[in-house]
Structure 1
Amino acid sequence: MTVILVMFPESLKAEEMIKVKLVNNIDKTSELNFQFKGEYYTLDPMLSLHEGVNYSLTVTNNDFFILEGAGEKLKIKESLVLIPSNYDHAHRIAVNDRPYLGAMEFVIEDKKFIRPVNQLPLEDYLKGVVPNEVFPSWGLETLKAQTLAARTYAATHTSEVIDDTIRYQVYGGYTWYKNTSKAVEETHGEVITYQNKPINAFYSASNGGVTENNAHVWDGKPLPYFPVKKDPYDPIHPWKFNLQEVQISLNTINWENPHWWRETVEKDQAITSSMKRWLQRNGYPGNIKILSIPHFELSNKRHESERRITGSITIQFLHRLPEGTILFEQLVREEVAIDHIRPLIGGTIFKSYLIDSLEKNNGIYTMTGRGFGHGVGMSQWGAHIMGQTGSSYKEIIQFYYPGTSITNMNSK
């Protein structure tokens, strides 16, 4: 799956390019629409597309088709690649009404879905990333620090196809803002290095007041520029959630009601929906109803940063198989790494591993904690506070990645 930019200007070929699979705003779909402004070419000599025309792409039985308005449906061989005659802001392609610069390839994914892949210069990619990772209204020095972290991260992934979600970096296409674009332009080519090599420039929204070492999160070798230390700038961001032990009581179900399955719902649906998705992805296909969480606790094991290490959870649920059989099931996770529990609750609810307490009263679990994310590297909110109090982007980088240097990757 590679976009070929054979018709880009020669001056662009020397620039660092990046390939981005568009996932964040495009679910698994067998149909999507696009149109473009400016002149675009395809790699199919039999296919001629025109500016301003609405096109539809569909996949049926692993066959790929393009339809121009109410016109003829044409079959596509393998993939569709669109390449602008010139790389500039006047040439852009809108996929489901969201604009993108550069080239676009539409490929078949899993034999039934359409997946667009955008390829463009790294610096313009960053202009679509920074305003989606932090608030574009934040101060310029903070935006520059975020730009360096984002550029360094992207520069270590140019040999692969990344996506536009939090799994890598959130990329919004050609939706730019003046301040974030200025931050990208004024730091052009600058990356964070250690011993002359770009680092893995991790960052998270908030570290809860203490940074974390990479080895505590992803194992591997502990790196000196990811120390565990107090962060006086991070605004802590305390969080809390409640989870009822009994979600559905079997005694309250009217088994004579033919619609009982549809009409029976859990009490904490924001959390139980995460549980269901995890279970369906991990060996329990079909429909699920969460009955109860009879056991949920944390061990006293902690890292130096005070982040929790292990915990236990038991989930009891009804599992309706595709043919209609309903089974009583139980998932037991006893003294497991806590990152095996958090996905069951959901990362936007169970926000970090810096957990202050987990208590159970009157059949309700209550967890409290601090921060949002893994806590390794830069705290985005901490960088915001540093910028507000007069720190430069270089000082922000040195605080969150101590011992590193700022290097221009374009200099020889």
Structure 2
Amino acid sequence: MKKIFISLLIVILLGFSIQYKYIFADYMDDYISIKLTSPVKSREIVKLGSDDGFYVYGIKNFEDEYISNQIIYIELNDDKIEVKDDIGEILFSIPEDNLILSSGNKCDSIIKVEDKRYRDCIEIKKEKNGLSVINLVKMDHYLYGVVPREMPASFPIEALKAQAIAARTYTLKNINKHYNEGYNLCDTTHCQIYGGMDEEHVRTNEAVDATKGKIITYNGEIIDALYHSNSGGHTEDSVEAWGNYFPYLVGVKDEFSIGQPNSEWYFTIDSYELNSKLKNNGIYIGDIIDLEILKTSPRGGITSLKIIGTAGEKILNKGEIRQVFGDDKLKSTWFSIKREGTFNPAAGIYAISGENEEPKKIDISKAISIDKNLTKNTVKEAVVIEKDKTSRLVDSSRGNNIVFLIEGRGYGHGVGMSQWGAKKMAEEGYTYEEILKHYYTGVEIN
């Protein structure tokens, strides 16, 4: 599987002096490149720390230099990457080149990026908008920082093993996801959440070590081992979620996820709030009149939803639905809609006058405010405090709003392995292989 040329850098760090083509062939599978965003505070300057100092390598000319400082700053200055100490003195400078940094003369080290520790090596790259920080890391070291971020370390060990294998498989399948940008994967949910060494846990490290090298295949090919939090009782077909069919990502009954966190949920949303969400996504259809489900998957997930307004209609398909509603609220596309009625947001508001402390019901639309110039103004909007001490903005011009009750099941896209379902299966005595074969149809663990 083709990877970025980081293998060349690795061999240099290991002290070998052999030709590039042999370096690439021998070491291309040892390290992957992960762009770090969570610890990086600035694109102009990056703080690095190491108890053992640093070996600094230039990629193009392979020059290296040892720096004994335990804290250094990498700065881009006039198209040159400069390494400075804590008082701003230049320790090392490379024009028109990128840097590889290790805390030892081999790439088996620990380096702190700002306030977070990472294993193996750090690459500093020049980009159009500043510096980018890449962690060059061995596969299992990478998984050490992924598994506890994707699944709680308190889960049963067989569930953690299943997660480790799924994460390893996903990594290999998507290894070139950011190839055109000069690295393999990112550290966010766009790829897999990666927290580095500070996020590691002894139990998740044990799960990674116990499944070393194991991956999931279908007909001899590495699968796209997608996973999610909770299926709600039935996983989703990949073709229904995104339009791409994979025989190993078909929906399966999943009683193990029922009764687990977020297997069922609900919330209410009024037409004004929904209209605001539409506008934030560049959709303008006037005041919301109704919601209409156009199409569902065999599982029950909504794949097409029509929003009807006074000035038009908007059809949302598949992933657009959660994007507009907000995936923190709309936890999956498996939900029902019930029109609860209408309410006036300006009704039921009480105020305390300056004459006594007895609350008095008021009509916001008839209220008058007085500014610092003693000018009277009609109140168009006001912030009111609810009984639970939360605040909300009231617009007196809004009139009645429609309230929709959303009742749903599951959390996430629903495709592949349910993590809470895996936990329940492990608690009932299933092995990691049985867990994976339940969620991924017709696969083998190799």
Give the corresponding residue for 1:120.
137
Q: Quick one: distance in 2 between partners of 1:292 and 1:30?
A: 44
Give the corresponding residue for 2:365.
none
Q: Quick one: distance in 2 between partners of 1:60 and 1:207?
A: 50
1:397 aligns with 2:412: no
**Please, which of 118, 129, 140 is the counterpart of residue 100 of structure 1?**
118
1:346 aligns with 2:326: yes
Give the corresponding residue for 1:383.
422
Larger radius of gyration: 2
Q: Quick one: distance in 2 between partners of 1:15 and 1:2?
A: 11
Q: Quick one: distance in 2 between partners of 1:40 and 1:315?
A: 62
Give the corresponding residue for 2:233.
209
- Contact map agreement 2:218 2:442 (CA 8 A) in 1: yes
- Contact map agreement 1:59 1:112 (CA 8 A) in 2: no
Q: Quick one: distance in 2 between partners of 1:123 and 1:47?
A: 27
Provide the alpha-carbon RMSD of the alignment: 3.2
Give the corresponding residue for 1:369.
408
Offset at residue 115 of structure 1 (A): 1.8
Offset at residue 334 of structure 1 (A): 1.6
Which stretch shifts more, 72-81 or 198-207? Answer: 72-81
Pair 334,158 (structure 1): closer, same or farther in 2 beyond 3 Å = closer
**Please, which of 195, 200, 220 is the counterpart of residue 196 of structure 1?**
220
Give the corresponding residue for 1:226.
249
1:242 aligns with 2:268: yes
Give the corresponding residue for 2:157.
140
Q: CA offsets, 1:298-319, max 9 Å, x none? A: 4241111110011234799xxx
Offset at residue 340 of structure 1 (A): 2.0
In structure 2, stretches of 5+ residues that fail to align are 17-22, 343-400
Q: Quick one: distance in 2 between partners of 1:333 and 1:33?
A: 51
Offset at residue 395 of structure 1 (A): 0.9
Give the corresponding residue for 1:82.
101
Pair 293,138 (structure 1): closer, same or farther in 2 beyond 3 Å = farther
* Counterpart residue identity of residue 114, structure 2: N
Give the corresponding residue for 2:195.
172
**Please, which of 87, 90, 95 is the counterpart of residue 70 of structure 1?**
87
* Counterpart residue identity of residue 420, structure 2: W
Pair 192,107 (structure 1): closer, same or farther in 2 beyond 3 Å = same
Q: Quick one: distance in 1 between partners of 2:12 and 2:278?
A: 45
Pair 16,357 (structure 1): closer, same or farther in 2 beyond 3 Å = farther
Pair 239,28 (structure 1): closer, same or farther in 2 beyond 3 Å = farther
**Normalized against structure 1, the TM-score is what?**
0.77
Q: CA offsets, 1:289-334, max 9 Å, x none? A: x998625624241111110011234799xxxxxxxxxxxxx9x762
Pair 105,85 (structure 1): closer, same or farther in 2 beyond 3 Å = same
Give the corresponding residue for 2:74.
57
Aligned residue-pair number: 357
SS at match of 1:340: helix
Q: Quick one: distance in 1 between partners of 2:235 and 2:11?
A: 45
Pair 184,78 (structure 1): closer, same or farther in 2 beyond 3 Å = same
Q: CA offsets, 1:51-88, max 9 Å, x none? A: 45322334567665443211325765343321442243
Offset at residue 227 of structure 1 (A): 2.3
Q: CA offsets, 1:263-284, max 9 Å, x none? A: xxxxx9xx968964x55xx9xx
Trace 1:311-330 onto structure 2 (pairs within 5 A). Answer: 311-313=305-307
- Contact map agreement 2:57 2:63 (CA 8 A) in 1: no
Give the corresponding residue for 2:303.
309
Pair 47,202 (structure 1): closer, same or farther in 2 beyond 3 Å = same
Offset at residue 2 of structure 1 (A): 5.2
* Counterpart residue identity of residue 189, structure 1: G
- Contact map agreement 2:241 2:318 (CA 8 A) in 1: no
Q: Percent identity?
A: 27
Pair 203,28 (structure 1): closer, same or farther in 2 beyond 3 Å = farther
* Counterpart residue identity of residue 344, structure 1: V
* Counterpart residue identity of residue 156, structure 1: K
SS at match of 2:50: strand
Offset at residue 357 of structure 1 (A): 2.2
Offset at residue 401 of structure 1 (A): 1.1
Q: Quick one: distance in 2 between partners of 1:335 and 1:391?
A: 42
- Contact map agreement 1:32 1:56 (CA 8 A) in 2: yes
1:357 aligns with 2:374: no
